[in-house]
Structure 1
Amino acid sequence: MTVQDVAADGIKLSDNAAAKVKSLLGQEGRDDLRLRVAVQPGGCSGLRYQLFFDERSLDGDAITDFGGVEVVVDRMSVPYLGGAQIDFVDTIEKQGFTIDNPNATGSCACGDSFS
């Protein structure tokens, strides 16, 4: 995984992930959207990731540009995501965004949530 610049909040975005986000944003046809990465309560391990496009700006957001892709993290999620690496994989076995998070101490069997 080639990693782009490290964000102020510590998140890293791979070249593959940045390219996929650009492609998806192009399909949306809007130029006011950014990729928001958040940590929310839920899942069998206690916390779950959320990745979605958002036009909002919230107080305390950490915003970083990765080669034309703006990634936004809310202030409550920043401590959970420091050092996390976001990648996009497209193989015969799996397709989608992956998050390698050094702050996660465990995850559920389905890989949908972490603690």
Structure 2
Amino acid sequence: MTASSETTTSGVVLTDAAVSKVKNLLEAEGRDDLQLRIAVQPGGCSGLRYQLFFDERSLDGDVVHDFNGVGVVVDRMSVPYLGGATIDFVDTIEKQGFTIDNPNAAGSCACGDSFH
């Protein structure tokens, strides 16, 4: 797993595999005005859950990073929960999808979709 273009402990990091997958998904959407928004919201069995989705909005306080042409947006409320988190994309026989390695998570549930 290699981190792409921007590696900071104050923000989210996308690996090259994640950047490639996001670019492919954006091409399939056929829109060039979308960015990947990563948010933390209340919910899930551990108290907080991640949300990743494409968004064209720009909200007050958003933090935006560029990873080789992929815009990644984190809202101001989610920034403290995601500092130093690494987003990767895995495609193996056992698992396919985006994964989040978050040093701020004290624990997570068995499904891996929520944390505390």
TM-score normalised by the chain length of structure 1: 0.97
Aligned to 2:46: 45
RMSD after superposition: 1.1
- TM-score normalised to the size of structure 2? 0.96
Seen in structure 2, the aligned counterparts of structure 1 residues 112 and 8 have a Cα distance that, compared at 3 Å, is: closer
SS of residue in 2 equivalent to 1:71:
strand
Alignment of 1:65-104 (within 5 A): 65-104=66-105
Mind listing any 5+ residue stretches in structure 2 that lack a counterpart?
none
Residue of structure 1 in register with 2:3 after alignment: 3
Q: 2:56 is matched by which residue type in structure 1?
A: E
Aligned CA distance change for structure 1 residues 73 and 79 (closer, same or farther; 3 Å): same
Q: Which structure 1 segments of 5+ residues have no match? A: none
Per-residue CA shift, 1:75-96, capped at 9, x if unaligned? 0000000000000000000000
Displacement of 1:110: 1.6
Question: How many pairs were matched up?
Answer: 115
How far apart are residue 14 of structure 1 and its match?
0.1
Percent identity between the two aligned chains: 77
